[in-house]
Amino acid sequence: MANPPQNLLHSIGNSRIVLSPMAGFSDSPYRRLTRAMGSAFSITEFVSTEHLFRSNPKAISLFRFEESERPIVFQVFGNDPDILLRGVKRVLHLGPDGIDLNMGCSVRTVSGSGSGAGLLKCPAKVKEMIRRLVVETGLPISAKIRLGWDHENLNYREITDILENEGVWAIGVHGRTRQMAYTGRADWDKIGEIARLRQIPIFGNGDILSHAEAREKIKTYGVYGVYVGRGAIGNPWLFSGIDRSNLAFADRLPTIEKHIAAMAEFYGDAAAAILMRKHLTQYLRDLPEWGAIKAEIYAQTSAVKLHDILSHYTYANSKAS
């Protein structure tokens, strides 16, 4: 085999802000949109390697992507090194540019069974998983972690030491413990400590809501880059440095329409209409117009109609003003 690139940095470019993997949000249409607006590379939502191992079509379909998303990293989770490797190998033919191991999911069904943040309790298993992923896939491997299981077990130094020694090219760090789930604040001082301890790129993660905040975190804490999750839902402008609060309804519409069209093409018209509800809520709920159209949006079962409602509303309002 040709010497595979162990490092994705050469193809990332200058952007240091990345759409964080989010189940139900960082799908192919939204990854495409955010990549085009400046997200540095693409990471899928997490997919069970147990399901991949069983060739579950739904699990495999979560890895559908388009070329414009590249570099594309497939994120996986699992608690058994053999199943993990066998599951990952089932999808290598799809052509990912890297594999990311989820070591941060706090959901009880995942972390309680030893996957996601549950792996933080098993450093020896992490070592085996990463070693095998690096050797057996030949792809750049990364991991996304939390600071520890709880405040009594903040083992981020030990875990990041293992990850670095086993050859990951980067680590994403959500600055909370598993026990915190999404409560409290991300501890950026500890993320900064990890960035100082490690030679490889660290992507800090937690509570970033704007492009300016992302830049400020990179500068203040010395991280290579950041992952932005909830703050990027309904706000792809965050990646290009445009402040969404300066954008009126009509200014947001072209981007939203692109998103709707991509969703319709990817999921089909009816499914896209339903899936777009959560996105549209986040795109528009800070605007006075949202109150007026929300009920109509939620009643729609066709993405084409969603598009019509939004553009008619803009047109009617421009005539009225």
Active site residues: 105
For residue 261, how far is the Cα from the chain centroid? 21
What residues numbered 41-100 form the site for ligand FMN, per CB under 6 A?
A: 45-46, 75
**Residue 60 or 309 having the CB closest to ligand FMN:** 60
- Encoded one letter per residue, x for contact with ligand FMN by CB under 6 A and - for no contact, window 116-135 reads --------------------
Q: What is the nearest approach in angstroms of ligand FMN to the Cβ of residue 85?
A: 19
- Shorter beta-carbon distance to ligand FMN: residue 75 or 253: 75
Output 81 or 206, the one with its CB closest to ligand FMN.
206
13 contacts ligand FMN (rule: CB under 6 A): no
Distances (CA, A) of 117 to 123, 124, 281: 11, 14, 30
Nearer to ligand FMN, 144 or 252 (CB): 144
Q: Using CB under 6 A, which residues numbered 139 to 158 contact ligand FMN?
A: 144
- Nearest Cα to 51, choosing from 83, 20, 25? 83
| Contact range with ligand FMN by CB under 6 A, out of 16-24, 60-68, 150-158, 300-308 | 16-24
CA distances from 46 to 52, 115, 163, 257 (A): 11, 11, 19, 27
Residue from 41, 1, 6 nearest 140 by CA: 6
Sketch the per residue contact string, 165 through 184, with ligand FMN: x for CB under 6 A, - otherwise.
---------x----------
Lay out the sheet containing 72-77: strands in order across.
Answer: 17-19, 225-228, 202-205, 170-177, 141-148, 98-103, 72-77, 42-48
Interface with ligand FMN (CB under 6 A), residue total 22
Least distance from ligand FMN to the Cβ atom of residue 172, Å? 7
Give every CB contact of residue 92 below 8 A, 6+ residues apart in sequence: 137, 139
What DSSP line would sit under 107-143, residue for residue? Answer: -HHHHTTTSGGGGGG-HHHHHHHHHHHHHHH-S-EEE
Coil, helix or strand for 222? coil
Structure tokens at 142: 């990364």
Closer to ligand FMN by CB, 45 or 187: give it.
45
Minimal CA–CA distance to 229: which of 115, 48, 105, 52? 105
Q: Which of 208, 262, 264, 310 binds ligand FMN (CB under 6 A)?
A: 208
When CB distances to ligand FMN are compared, the closest residue is: 229
- Which of the ranges 15-23, 82-90, 191-199, 253-261 carries the binding residues for ligand FMN, by CB under 6 A? 15-23
Q: How far is CA 253 from the centre of its chain?
A: 24
Question: Which residues sit at the interface with ligand FMN, rule CB under 6 A?
Answer: 20-25, 45-46, 75, 102, 104-105, 144, 174, 205-208, 228-231
